[in-house]
């Protein structure tokens, strides 16, 4: 009896499955969806990998640049720059040649390009201070290591202001006798210690006082700062370039003059002449003792320098003086006043250029 009992869970023949008529089409669509999803996922993975690779490359480039910058900062100046203590045979990259024509552009204010005006090493102190006008201090316009002598003399212009030398006077009778000596009594050296609070060091040594019979006034209106031709010339003051122009020295020798307005002194015009390869333009900002603006011009082969009587090598130098502007913010050229506060004002000089300041 028990053996004839049919278990409720006994296997029964499986009923034949009924498939939809369109099953093959549904399978194809499912396979296609899977293929498309797989392709999309692979494409997304490739895009993510590319983005990751690009980020890695960018990070490596930034890290390499940082390492190079650190190495340059630690072990030396940028090859394109110049340190105030260096001599140079050419103006730093970005320098502009002064046009040989007598057409001049005057400007003031923000520079269109500070590429040249900012080429200095902030980790190197500016050249030492050697003179002053009231509270305005004047940095040595050449590297102190290249300095041959400093000679004060009279000016040809009544506009020139008296400067105060921060160095004592040399014994002139001894100076003339020691012309060929390797060490002059008025030889100079920079202060061995830095002063606190960023105050520039003061030059040590002695200065010459030279008289010129055809001029009147005291020997404190101009300073001839001696150095070999080609020596770097730095801005004596921090301020804005007002004017760069060619002129004829003594009416026949080509020379250049550079005018700078010191910050906080709108009535003062700081002038440099006997310069070559000027590398700044009107409107450029310059840093006293740190921004190279030109080079010492060779003139001793054509002009007998008074300084040449006291130093070897002809006495080439850059001439520095401070002029008082009759009208603050305006420079007088050939009897006309030009407003240097108007950027881009062009002056065409028709008459013969003036003699040296």
Average pLDDT, 10 consecutive residues per value, the chain (357 residues): 43 48 65 71 73 73 63 43 32 31 36 41 75 94 89 84 88 66 36 49 83 67 93 96 89 91 94 95 93 94 86 90 86 73 49 44
CA distance 35 to 156: 93
Q: Is residue 161, in this structure, part of any structural domain at all?
A: yes
Report CA-CA distances (Å) from 210 to 155, 165, 259, 313, 322: 11, 14, 24, 18, 18
pLDDT at residue number 88 = 30
Report CA-CA distances (Å) from 209 to 153, 288, 318: 6, 24, 16
pLDDT at residue number 354 = 44
Q: How many domains does the chain have?
A: 2
Asked if residue 180 and residue 43 are part of one domain, the reply reads no
Q: Is residue 139, in this structure, part of any structural domain at all?
A: yes
CA distance 156 to 158: 7
pLDDT at residue number 183 = 35
Q: Is residue 267, in this structure, part of any structural domain at all?
A: yes
pLDDT at residue number 189 = 45
Q: Is residue 8, in this structure, part of any structural domain at all?
A: no
Q: Is residue 341, in this structure, part of any structural domain at all?
A: yes
Asked if residue 153 and residue 26 are part of one domain, the reply reads no
Asked if residue 49 and residue 112 are part of one domain, the reply reads no
Asked if residue 45 and residue 110 are part of one domain, the reply reads no
Asked if residue 107 and residue 61 are part of one domain, the reply reads no
Tally of residues, the chain = 357
pLDDT at residue number 49 = 74
Asked if residue 151 and residue 37 are part of one domain, the reply reads no
pLDDT at residue number 317 = 94
pTM: 0.61
pLDDT at residue number 202 = 80
Range of the structural domain that residue 41 is part of? 22-75
Asked if residue 276 and residue 153 are part of one domain, the reply reads yes
pLDDT at residue number 215 = 57
pLDDT at residue number 110 = 35
Q: Is residue 238, in this structure, part of any structural domain at all?
A: yes
CB 321 within 8 Å of CB 281: no
Asked if residue 303 and residue 258 are part of one domain, the reply reads yes
Asked if residue 119 and residue 253 are part of one domain, the reply reads yes
pLDDT at residue number 66 = 63
């Amino acid at each position: 009896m028990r053996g004839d009992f049919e278990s409720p869970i006994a296997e029964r023949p499986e009923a034949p499955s009924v498939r939809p008529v369109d099953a093959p089409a549904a399978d194809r669509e499912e396979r296609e969806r899977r293929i498309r999803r797989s392709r999309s996922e692979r494409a997304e993975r490739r895009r993510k990998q590319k983005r990751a690779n690009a980020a890695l490359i960018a990070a490596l480039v930034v890290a390499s640049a940082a390492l190079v910058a650190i190495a340059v900062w630690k072990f030396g100046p940028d090859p394109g720059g110049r340190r105030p203590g260096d001599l140079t045979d050419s103006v730093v990259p970005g320098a502009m040649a002064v046009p040989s024509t007598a057409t001049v552009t005057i400007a003031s204010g923000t520079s269109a390009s500070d590429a040249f005006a900012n080429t200095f090493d902030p980790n190197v102190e500016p050249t030492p201070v050697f003179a002053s006008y009231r509270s305005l201090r004047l940095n040595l316009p050449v590297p102190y290591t290249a300095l041959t002598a400093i000679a004060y003399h009279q000016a040809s212009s009544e506009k020139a202001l008296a400067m105060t030398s921060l160095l004592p006077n040399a014994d002139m009778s001894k100076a003339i006798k020691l012309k060929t000596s390797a060490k002059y009594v008025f030889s100079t050296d920079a202060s061995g210690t830095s002063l606190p609070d960023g105050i520039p060091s003061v030059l040590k040594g002695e200065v010459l006082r030279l008289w010129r019979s055809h001029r009147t006034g005291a020997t404190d209106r101009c300073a001839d700062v001696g150095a070999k031709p080609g020596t770097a010339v730095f801005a004596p003051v921090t301020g804005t370039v007002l004017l760069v122009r060619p002129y004829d020295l003594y009416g026949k020798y080509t020379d250049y003059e550079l005018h700078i307005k010191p910050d906080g002194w709108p009535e003062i015009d700081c002038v440099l002449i006997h310069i070559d390869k000027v590398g700044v333009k009107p409107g450029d900002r310059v840093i006293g003792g740190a921004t190279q603006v030109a080079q010492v011009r060779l003139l001793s082969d054509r002009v007998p320098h008074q300084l040449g009587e006291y130093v070897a090598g002809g006495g080439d130098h850059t001439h520095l003086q401070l002029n008082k502007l009759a009208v603050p913010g305006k420079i007088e050229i050939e009897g006309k006043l030009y407003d240097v506060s108007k950027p881009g004002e062009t002056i065409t000089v028709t008459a013969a250029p003036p003699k040296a300041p």
